[in-house]
Amino acid sequence: MKIIVIHGPNLNMLGTREPHIYGSETLEDINEKIRKYAKSLSVEADFFQSNCEGEIISKIQGCQDKYDAAIINAGAYTHYSYAIRDAIAAVSIPFVEVHMSNVYAREDFRHKSVISPVCKGMVCGFGSNSYLAAISALTYK
Ligand code: DQA
């Protein structure tokens, strides 16, 4: 099984960005943790991060024949990007929505996800372990 993990805007700042919310691991640390966990389940993981909506959309479009599934933390785009939602809907592989923080315990604008309806499922609130939970849910037989 081959998956891609797509990180959206500001996730490149992990480690120094609001550590009381997102912890002290860098994006590199988190990707390494995901890579190791995925490997233990015989899953190969690729990684992509962008702060640009269009680049994320192009990456999603390119997933179709390349990956069996995708994990996406769309950052704040989660809450308002109909273009990212439409891109996910346009490809037939399963997408799992992930958030490190519990978005429902935060500001009201984070309670709405426009991508949830086109994702297979959603994991939030477990820090970087949210990504591992998504891989576990995708692969558990
Ligand atoms: C986030 C939650 C979003 O509301 C926020 O804009 C992010 C990170 C999370 O992983 O908890 O950038 O997706």
In testing the pocket of ligand 1, which one of 25, 27, 73 has its CB within 8 Å of the most ligand atoms?
A: 73
74-95 pLDDT per residue, tens: 999 999 999 999 999 999 999 9
| pLDDT for residue 115 | 98
Within 10 angstroms of residue 100's Cβ, the number of other Cβ atoms is 23
- List, in sequence order, the alpha helices (H) in 1-141: 19-22, 27-40, 53-61, 82-90, 129-139
Active site positions, annotated: 22, 99
Ligand 1 contact, 7 CB (< 6 A): no
In testing the pocket of ligand 1, which one of 53, 98, 103 has its CB within 8 Å of the most ligand atoms?
A: 103
For the chain, what are the domain ranges?
2-139
97-130 pLDDT per residue, tens: 999 999 999 999 999 999 999 999 999 999 999 9
Tell which atom from ligand 1 comes closest to the C-alpha of 130.
10
CATH T-level fold of 2-139: Rossmann fold (3.40.50)
Give the residues across from 2 on adjacent strands.
44
Question: Residue 50: which residues within 8 A CB-CB, separation 6 or more?
Answer: 7, 8, 9, 56, 59
Whole-prediction pTM value? 0.98
Q: Output phi, psi for 101, to 5 deg.
A: -90, 165
Q: Separation of 20 CA from ligand 1 center, angstroms?
A: 13
Percent of the chain with pLDDT over 70: 100
Q: Tell me, what DSSP letter sits at residue 105?
A: G
Ligand 1 contact, 105 CB (< 6 A): no
Do the Cβ atoms of 98 and 131 come closer than 8 Å? yes
In the block, which residue shows the tokens 């680049």?
55
pLDDT band at residue 6 using 50, 70 and 90 as cut-offs:
very high
| pLDDT for residue 52 | 98
